[in-house]
Structure 1
């Protein structure tokens, strides 16, 4: 899991990826945080299947900052 996050974060930031891939990255990160905080963190994602194949810029830097703020708030 941690290796997947590291490999993902080392990708070229100008690269486009399917939204599904970005969602998986966020889920991996949140799984680690759930383990770290002993299941005190709960999350839900409700994302339409129609948008998952859409290519987007890699947002890992933005999302990691957002995730960190949400967890530590």
Structure 2
């Protein structure tokens, strides 16, 4: 499966998970392809703190969708 086809399927999976009406956008944060497998991190324009990890297993021709909610954002100062 090519990257564009995978991303279309992953975006549709997020839309299905979040539900109707689709008055929000889905955007891709990061994606990669290794051999016959794909992975992407996605989020929506909703302010619910959710993000999604879509993984395509090319051997089994299965898409897995994990949904996460951001709990906290902590700033950690790093000194050189």
Give the TM-score of the pair, scaled to structure 2: 0.35
Q: Which has the larger radius of gyration?
A: 2
Highest relative contact order (Cα 8 Å, sep 6+), 1 or 2?
1
Higher strand share: 2
